[in-house]
Structure 1
Amino acid sequence: MCLGATAGAYILTLFAAKYRERVLGLVLVSPLCRAPTWTEWLYSKVESNLLYYYGMCGLVKESLLQRFFSKEVRGCSESPESDIVQACRSLLDQRQSMNVWQFVQTMNGRYDLTEELKQLQCRTLIFVGENSQFHAEAVHMTAKLDRRYCALVEVQACGSLVTEEQPHAMLIPMEYFFMGYGLYKPSQLDCSPRSPLSPSCISPELLSPESMGVKLKPIKTRARLQV
């Protein structure tokens, strides 16, 4: 069972297609699966040049944050920057600019995985924020995978890193996903060990996908669940 986001999701997809017998399932967050568009290629090329000549300057940091986070958490003149973006900005200051340069260069040279997607035999759960720059990639990937074993979860008001911006939106879909493997069996009396939400304390209406800002598409499993 593997989980990866953006570039990590690309690598895991490539691995799962090549070593099908070694991957049970994939949980992908804003996955990349196609070669970069001309717009993305040019955008990344500018980032690479800035990193190479000026290091981790303010313009590069803003560009990277814009790529992975939504406008809501990046803040503006009316609302402050969120804690997670501030933490990410601090982490970027600690990274060596040449390492980031190599990462941007590598991902800008990625190739199309559309043909490899046909070789995937494991079930796949895909998360993507509706404001993600990679939203079209996730939709394309979902369209190419076998719909019987793939589900797409679109998270409202969220950027590419759903794991950081709205991790709570991932709980219920992942619980159902793991139930298909028999890895998780919820109790009617106890709340989920993976979730801070307690049914005895929270109104059922608040646990609906719409209330949590999630657009769910049904997850279809290969085997029936035993109740």
Structure 2
Amino acid sequence: MATNQDDVKLLGAVGSAFVCRVQIALKLKGIQYKFLEENMANKSDLLLKYNPVYKKIPVFVHNDKPVSESLVILEYIDETWKQNPILPSDPYRRALARFWSKFIDDKIIATSIKAVHTVDDEKEREKNVEESSEALQILENELKDKFFGGENIGFVDIAAVYIAFWIPLIQDITGLQLFNAEKCPNLYKWSHEFLNHPIVKENMPPRDPIFAYFKAHYESLFVSK
């Protein structure tokens, strides 16, 4: 049971889509928390203590009990603080929300990241771009309302923050074409509605420094080859 005296911390880094998911959920729920910025090149003892298995962010700490992996954290938050639910109450719809969120991680985020990093194998890169585009098209066909959660932001919308903010960033930096208004009109419209939602807007990282960081990282891939 959550109380007003709960000690809530989030270990993360500005610019991480997975950390951003948790920040949006906490804001939607109205939960106060302390943000602990992590340097992933020099991981803190706290991060290694709370996530010794994966040693990754985000890590959510509630009354000294750590939870890792962003989708698991979202479920924990939703079950602990009942206000403004992000998962549907119907068991079947809850299962679908979990399915599509995992689909986003496995079929869109993973393949688009591979496409970015495959700079020395054009055939492999095209394969990853094609897989990402196909997965985005499948998700496009699943979007029936204003948001995946209906009229309000829900679990899948939060999971898809990478599509709304980070994929356009990737496209601008790399020239890869994964989705646009012509290919995925529903997703394109959704991305603008989502990013302009007051709570989402408040919790998005500033675009310019994130763009500069990822551009430098992308260019370094060619130097290291």
**Structure 1 length as normaliser, TM-score?**
0.28
- Structure number with higher relative contact order (C-alpha < 8 Å, ≥ 6 residues apart): 1
